[in-house]
Amino acid sequence: MTFELIISPEAEAEMGEAFDWYEEQLPGLGSDFLLNVDAALQTILRNPKQFPCVYKHLRRTLIRRFPYQIFFLLEKSKIVVLAVFHARRSPKRWLERANKLS
């Protein structure tokens, strides 16, 4: 089955912030971050049910090499990315987004 990928504006902003931060640390590292995010998104698109539900219907995957997580919802023919969060940030923010959809 082919899924449509929808990335929320909040998740886009989080990816942009992380990219900028990594680029400041070491030129090219931000691009590596985005490549790893893209790889994780492609894995989600291939088999979204392989990732565990961490809250109600919200699923999560980890990004390789970087301490970030992608939180997403699997709908009938869509995958909606709600957040791209640093693993040390409080889960309160992604929980608030998930509860808005409930």
What pLDDT does residue 67 have?
96
All structural domains of the chain, each given as residue ranges with its CATH number in brackets, are 4-101 (3.30.2310.20)
> Three-state DSSP class for 83?
strand
Per-residue pLDDT 10s for the chain (102 aa) are 789 999 999 999 999 999 999 999 999 999 999 999 999 999 999 999 999 999 889 999 999 999 999 999 999 999 999 999 998 876 666 667 666 665
The SS3 of residue 51 is coil
> Letter for the amino acid at 52?
P
Token pair of 42 as six digits: 């492609």
| Residue-level pLDDT at 71 | 95
Q: Which of 80, 69, 62, 70 lies closest to 6 in space, CA to CA?
A: 80
